[in-house]
A and B are shown apart, each in its own frame.
Chain A
Amino acid sequence: MDQYGTAPSPAEHPGIFRSEEMCLAQLYIQSEAAYGCVAELGELGLVQFRDLNPDISAFQRKYVKEVRRCDEMERKLRFLEREIKKDQVPMLDTGENPDVPQPREMIDLEATFEKLENELREVNQNEETLKKNFNELTELKHILRKTQTFFEEHEELQVEALLPLEVTRDLHAPDTPALIMQLRFVAGVIQRERLPAFERLLWRVCRGNVFLRQSDIDDVIQDAVTGESVNKTVFIIFFQGDQLKTKVKKICEGFRATLYPCPDTPQERREMSIGVMTRIEDLKTVLGQTQDHRHRVLVAASKNVRMWLTKVRKIKSIYHTLNLFNIDVTQKCLIAECWCPVNELERIKMSLKRGTEDSGSQVPSILHRMETSENPPTYHKTNKFTRGFQEIVDAYGMATYREINPAPYTMITFPFLFAVMFGDMGHGTVMLLAGLFFILKEKQLEAARIRDEIFNTFFNGRYVIFLMGAFSIYTGFIYNDIFSKSINLFGSSWRNTYGADFFQEHLTYEEQEKPFMLVPEKGFDSPGGPYPFGLDPVWNLAESNKLSFLNSMKMKASVILGITQMAFGLMLSLYNHRYFKSDLDIKWMFIPQALFLGCIFVYLCLQIIAKWLFFTAEANTVFGYDYPGSNCAPSLLIGLINMFMQKSRDKGFEGPTCYLNFWYPGQSFFEFIFLAVAICCVPVMLFAKPYLMWKEDQLRRGRGHAHLAPVELILLVVALVQVPLMLFAKPYLLWRRQKGYQPQIDQPGTSGGFQQSVRADMNGEDVEVVQHADEPPKENGASHGGGHGHGDGPLDMGDVMVYQAIHTIEFVLGCVSHTASYLRLWALSLAHAQLSDVLWTMVFRHAFGFDGYLGAFITYALFFVFFFLSVGILVLMEGLSAFLHALRLHWVEFQSKFYGGHGYPFAPFSFEKILQEEREAEEQA
């Protein structure tokens, strides 16, 4: 819900300063050409289609059959891909972009896939059966081998004990009378992890009357269906009696143990074993052949699979898009509605033409521009450099259609504000090199398709990082700070007044260690002038007051930078108001806001600059007052507070509190005026615009609906109680304006002011058409129309009113709090400098205390500690925090001055985007 309505049409400000101008267009496409046209538009990627059948569910649309066919093809391709991956055949992925296949080609594709799938399934099935056989035989082989050892152990037992001998002999000689215990056995294979439970259950069910021997199979057997490796164990169970046999068999079945026939005599076992071995060999050859065949099929398919997938996805997206279209009654033509950039209309028309010609349709497709009152989507053209910054802005909120795009300004201010907090030539260089590396290796890194989220964050922000690094070097140069050290490029403007002999002659050893002060009047070497650029390196040696000097400088610099940026934001709001031709906003919103900001905050900035310029270390005359020295330089903070309090102060620089006095002639008068103007601006901002609009509306109402006079009277009375009602009136009027100017239709001649007529234009033809349709009943019952307006009014009122009040109050309070907020520039810069100082003195400096080889080694070792801590803590962590603060300064402090952010992004139908998304989804799965 923006307060501007729709924008006027002339395309001034082209390029990146505002979003692209969009228009709603209607497409009439012959149904036979529709496929080709949409394909061309998809390649172009500049058109956002609207769903014209929102009420029809997905499966009732016209092209659902084709979509389903595509789904089926995709499934087959996925199946192929899985199989290819299973066999570890390399897939050819050139990333090429095949053209959209013709609709009739779809049948060929389908047939190809069908054939491939069937072939593969058949091969798989064969392989599965073969594998199963193979597994069974392998298991049998193991059984025979293991049982052999079991039985051999028994033979040994025969010698030792008599009873087992009887038992085993029974086993081998079934013809002995069955009076003696008849021991029988089953042998089989079971999964190893199931064995304990199996054994337990067996024991429990058979009450301990069975004897189980087991032995693990060392080879890993591959499951025929899933292809997973399973460990198995051979077991042999001895028992007696039929009842136990059924039980044992049931349990075996329950635990999915496979039982194999095992001959009783060693002779037979050996023969069987030999037979099994030969069969295994045979199977191996057959299996090998099958696998070769499968491999050949897959290798052949692997060359095309990615290309096919791209094709199928394109077809599918085309049919999805066609499903959004409306079908003409005659069934001959499809109607589509789309948003497209006005500048690209020609290219779109060309694409349509190409699409129509390619499909051999006789009737050309028609693109017809429509007028609409709807808010068009916001479309910013970006390139790889601007994208990062545009995303920073968009992350806060998509710009309202055609409002000023902060991104171009952000491109410079963002890295700059970052650098103010991160000012260090050394760290800046590290960052610059990192950014440069990403930029130079851009192509390779993009091709490598690294999926790491953190890497991608950095990689996508490579140009931001690069600029942040460059600006950090610049501010580092101004701060004269490289890894917390300074460089003396131009020669310091300060000289040591003490001299070497002073220390030797006059002071004891202990006293030499004490800090000495350079008296400004004497120590400053004025003929050379101040240090020409940046901070004088001598300050790095001033241990006790370096901080207080830097703090004062950085604090003032941040306030100036902050207020400059806010004032710039405010200027942008002027351009917004002017672009949307909102005269009222300029007069009653922008001007009071600018006055408010100017009278207090810009005045503060001017004071800061004046203080820098005129107040030196030496005594001189400032604005006609005798200035004794730096202890009388005015205190601006207390001065600002006193300005608000309107406290009377002495003039000139006299007395013990000379820094609190007025320091230029007429200061009390000017400050009174500034304060008065600023305070007056507040109610103007809050009430003036609503009041004027309300009044004008009353005027129009008074003429339009004369019988509403009593209401007007009451309203006038209420108007005396200004505050609540005026708050109430503006939102109400805003609502009126949104609804389109009905009263203006009633009374075309009486439209009060300039901005009303403009607004009627802005509402566009579409609205007007509606009004014309409504006109006759309205003329007859004008009072009814008015009543209707009253009835609906309060609905939006609360919302708009709260929004409006917040907006006004936010600006006033915001000016104060935002200025304070910019002090984070100073705070972070201070923290950064201190941290890097700590790292130097606590870590690296220790290395210099040693001489010789030891010193070299320690320097070598400590350098790495120092370097990695520098990169880890200072560049990465501090960099991140400075980045976040810069982000906040842009989103909150800067953009709140002018940026609406109520738009919605332009989402064109583009193959490139769709394929990209599909690929990402695929990679994530």
Chain B
Amino acid sequence: MGEFFFNIDHGYLEALIRGFKGGILTQSDYANLVQCETLEDLKLHIQSTDYGNFLANEPGAITVGVIDERLKEKLVTEFTHLRNNALEPLATFLDYITYAYMIDNIVLLITGTLHQRPIAELISKCHPLGSFEQMEAIHIASTPAELYNAVLVDTPLANYFVDCINEQDLDEMNVEIIRNTLYKAYIEDFYKFCENLGGKTAEVMCEILAFEADRRAIIITINSFDTELSKDDREKLYPRCGKLYPEGLVGLARADDYEQVKQVCEWYGDYKALFEGTGPNPGDKTLEDKFFEHEVKLNVHSYLHQFHFGVFYAFIKLKEQEMRNVIWIAECISQRHRSKIDNYIPIL
């Protein structure tokens, strides 16, 4: 039934987002971008795409940093416009998207503070989508409990943080665990939220989030080899809403090396394909890139359905991937490292 009334509340925004999606760089744009000799060329070409004159008012020579900043700025402007025009439940849905960036920002700030970096420098590195009021005061906390009581209790992340409250001092290991615990709680909560929304939204989003959950589980496992993280602790960090849950996660929890992870994943058709063709050999793609490609595919597929919120999530993710691509190409150009310039993830 939801489909019948979807357009009353969300039709305008869906139309907008589909329009925005139409502006995503195409294969031929990338083909032109990689031919650029200098960043000025890049600027010239990007002017002919949907980005338009977003770099036109930059005085002096442009740098990768400037491009990055402007790209983010554009995304944030678009997102803010969507958020300001959104009605419930889309508004909450859009808020959920920002939580992931908030988690990243918190972790970035804590790690930075641990390394004695000045807060102003760290703030500039934070993703503007995930900024919140108390963010800059985060460095007063020295234990997770303090962090929770002082800063996070007022933010939407408070519920996710409950599992990590303890009195241990914050150190790097701790921060990683906090990040993953937060992410786990976040993904599971988001998954539940989408499930409750029902309809096409649930169908599309659960697919994407399930993949996200599984990807995190696999990456955590692979990264935890040769660290002091115990297997029990590791298992606690796996988000339990993916396709790997429950059997696959048990398998991952027992895994001791890459091969075992691969074995576990080979039971699952989707993931089996991703592991194939990855490897350390030159010419092979990294597992991470494969994951990105699969994510892009899922996100693009979400546009095949109508009347659901998945397109909003997919747009932000695709745009993020596009930004990564442009930055990658720009970095390759500015560092004169052209051999790897083709390693971007094309958006279909």
State in angstroms the CA–CA spacing of A197 and B153 once bound together: 12
Contact for B140 among A78, A117, A250, CB less than 8 A: A250
Q: Is B282 an interface residue (CB 8 A)?
A: no
Q: Given A57-B35, A75-B59, do A251 and B154 touch, yes or no (CB 8 Å)?
A: no
- A-facing residues in B148-177 (Cβ within 8 Å): 149-151, 153-154
B136/A75 in contact, CB under 8 A: no
State which of B36-44, B100-108, B249-257 sits at the interface with chain A: B36-44
Quick one: closest B residue to A198, CB to CB? B137
State in angstroms the CA–CA spacing of A59 and B39 once bound together: 11
Q: Given A58-B48, A197-B134, do A251 and B140 touch, yes or no (CB 8 Å)?
A: yes
Chain A residues within 8 Å of B45, by CB: 57-59
9 other A-B residue contacts (CB within 8 Å) besides A68-B40, A204-B149, A254-B140? A57-B32, A58-B32, A68-B44, A75-B58, A117-B59, A201-B150, A205-B146, A253-B136, A256-B136
- A-facing residues in B99-152 (Cβ within 8 Å): 119, 133-140, 146, 149-151
Q: Is A780 an interface residue (CB 8 A)?
A: no
A75/B56 in contact, CB under 8 A: yes
State in angstroms the CA–CA spacing of A71 and B59 once bound together: 11
A60/B136 in contact, CB under 8 A: no
B137/A251 in contact, CB under 8 A: yes
Q: Is A707 an interface residue (CB 8 A)?
A: no
State in angstroms the CA–CA spacing of A75 and B36 once bound together: 22
State in angstroms the CA–CA spacing of A59 and B133 once bound together: 43
Q: Is B57 an interface residue (CB 8 A)?
A: yes
Q: Given A71-B56, A250-B137, A254-B134, do A201 and B151 touch, yes or no (CB 8 Å)?
A: yes
Q: Given A57-B35, A59-B36, A247-B140, do A79 and B133 touch, yes or no (CB 8 Å)?
A: no
Q: Is A443 an interface residue (CB 8 A)?
A: no
Contact for A197 among B36, B44, B154, CB less than 8 A: B154
Quick one: closest B residue to A252, CB to CB? B137
- A-facing residues in B40-94 (Cβ within 8 Å): 40-41, 44-45, 48, 56-59
A247 smallest CB distance to B (angstroms): 6
B57/A58 in contact, CB under 8 A: no
Count of interface residues, chain B, beta-carbon cutoff 8 Å: 28
Q: Given A200-B154, A254-B119, do A194 and B133 touch, yes or no (CB 8 Å)?
A: yes
* A interface residues with partner B (beta carbon < 8 Å): 57-60, 64, 67-68, 71, 74-75, 78-79, 117, 194, 197, 200-201, 204-205, 247, 250-251, 253-256
**Among B37, B40, B135, B137, residue most surrounded by chain A Cβ atoms (within 10 Å):** B137
Q: Given A59-B41, A197-B134, do A78 and B57 touch, yes or no (CB 8 Å)?
A: yes
State in angstroms the CA–CA spacing of A197 and B56 once bound together: 38
Chain A residues within 8 Å of B119, by CB: 253-254
State in angstroms the CA–CA spacing of A117 and B60 once bound together: 12
State in angstroms the CA–CA spacing of A201 and B133 once bound together: 11
A374 smallest CB distance to B (angstroms): 25
B109 smallest CB distance to A (angstroms): 10
Chain A residues within 8 Å of B146, by CB: 205
Chain B residues within 8 Å of A256, by CB: 136
Quick one: closest B residue to A247, CB to CB? B140
State in angstroms the CA–CA spacing of A333 and B77 once bound together: 48
A64/B137 in contact, CB under 8 A: no
Chain A residues within 8 Å of B139, by CB: 250, 254
A255/B56 in contact, CB under 8 A: no
State in angstroms the CA–CA spacing of A75 and B149 once bound together: 49
State in angstroms the CA–CA spacing of A204 and B133 once bound together: 15
Closest 3 CB pairs of A and B: A254-B137, A59-B41, A254-B136
State in angstroms the CA–CA spacing of A254 and B131 once bound together: 13
A64/B59 in contact, CB under 8 A: no
**Among A57, A64, A197, A255, residue most surrounded by chain B Cβ atoms (within 10 Å):** A57
A201/B134 in contact, CB under 8 A: yes
Contact for A204 among B56, B135, B150, CB less than 8 A: B150
A317 smallest CB distance to B (angstroms): 15
A205/B138 in contact, CB under 8 A: no
Instruction: Sample 10 A-B pairs with CB under 8 A, ordered by A number.
Output: A59-B45, A74-B56, A75-B56, A197-B134, A197-B154, A201-B150, A205-B149, A253-B136, A254-B139, A255-B136
A79/B59 in contact, CB under 8 A: yes
B137/A255 in contact, CB under 8 A: yes
Chain B residues within 8 Å of A64, by CB: 44
**Contact indicator per residue, chain B 15-39, by CB within 8 Å of chain A (1) or not (0):** 0000000000000000010011100
Quick one: closest A residue to B31, CB to CB? A57
Contact for B150 among A59, A78, A205, A255, CB less than 8 A: A205
B239 smallest CB distance to A (angstroms): 30
Quick one: closest B residue to A249, CB to CB? B140
A58/B44 in contact, CB under 8 A: yes
B140/A205 in contact, CB under 8 A: yes
A925 smallest CB distance to B (angstroms): 9
A765 smallest CB distance to B (angstroms): 36
Chain A residues within 8 Å of B149, by CB: 204-205
State in angstroms the CA–CA spacing of A269 and B135 once bound together: 34
A204/B57 in contact, CB under 8 A: no
Quick one: closest B residue to A82, CB to CB? B57
State in angstroms the CA–CA spacing of A194 and B44 once bound together: 41
Chain A residues within 8 Å of B35, by CB: 57, 59-60
A893 smallest CB distance to B (angstroms): 34
State in angstroms the CA–CA spacing of A32 and B153 once bound together: 71
Chain A residues within 8 Å of B150, by CB: 201, 204-205
State in angstroms the CA–CA spacing of A67 and B146 once bound together: 57
State in angstroms the CA–CA spacing of A71 and B53 once bound together: 11
A477 smallest CB distance to B (angstroms): 49
Q: Given A58-B44, A79-B57, do A204 and B140 touch, yes or no (CB 8 Å)?
A: no
State in angstroms the CA–CA spacing of A57 and B139 once bound together: 49
A332 smallest CB distance to B (angstroms): 27
Chain B residues within 8 Å of A253, by CB: 119, 136-137
A435 smallest CB distance to B (angstroms): 37
A197/B32 in contact, CB under 8 A: no
Quick one: closest A residue to B42, CB to CB? A59
Chain B residues within 8 Å of A201, by CB: 134, 137, 150-151
State in angstroms the CA–CA spacing of A57 and B337 once bound together: 21
Quick one: closest B residue to A78, CB to CB? B57
**Among B35, B40, B48, residue most surrounded by chain A Cβ atoms (within 10 Å):** B40
B113 smallest CB distance to A (angstroms): 10
Quick one: closest B residue to A65, CB to CB? B40
**Among B36, B40, B150, residue most surrounded by chain A Cβ atoms (within 10 Å):** B150
B19 smallest CB distance to A (angstroms): 17
Quick one: closest B residue to A250, CB to CB? B140
State in angstroms the CA–CA spacing of A57 and B47 once bound together: 13
Quick one: closest B residue to A207, CB to CB? B149
Chain A residues within 8 Å of B57, by CB: 75, 78-79
A210 smallest CB distance to B (angstroms): 13
Quick one: closest B residue to A117, CB to CB? B59
Chain A residues within 8 Å of B138, by CB: 254
Chain B residues within 8 Å of A58, by CB: 32, 44-45, 48
Chain A residues within 8 Å of B153, by CB: 204
State in angstroms the CA–CA spacing of A917 and B6 once bound together: 38
A727 smallest CB distance to B (angstroms): 38
State in angstroms the CA–CA spacing of A67 and B59 once bound together: 16
B56 smallest CB distance to A (angstroms): 6
B341 smallest CB distance to A (angstroms): 15
State in angstroms the CA–CA spacing of A25 and B104 once bound together: 61
State in angstroms the CA–CA spacing of A256 and B150 once bound together: 17
B218 smallest CB distance to A (angstroms): 36
Chain A residues within 8 Å of B41, by CB: 59
Quick one: closest B residue to A256, CB to CB? B136
Quick one: closest B residue to A72, CB to CB? B59
State in angstroms the CA–CA spacing of A701 and B153 once bound together: 89
Chain B residues within 8 Å of A204, by CB: 149-150, 153
State in angstroms the CA–CA spacing of A74 and B136 once bound together: 39
State in angstroms the CA–CA spacing of A205 and B151 once bound together: 9
State in angstroms the CA–CA spacing of A58 and B134 once bound together: 46
State in angstroms the CA–CA spacing of A64 and B48 once bound together: 14
State in angstroms the CA–CA spacing of A79 and B56 once bound together: 11
State in angstroms the CA–CA spacing of A74 and B154 once bound together: 47
Chain A residues within 8 Å of B137, by CB: 201, 250-251, 253-255
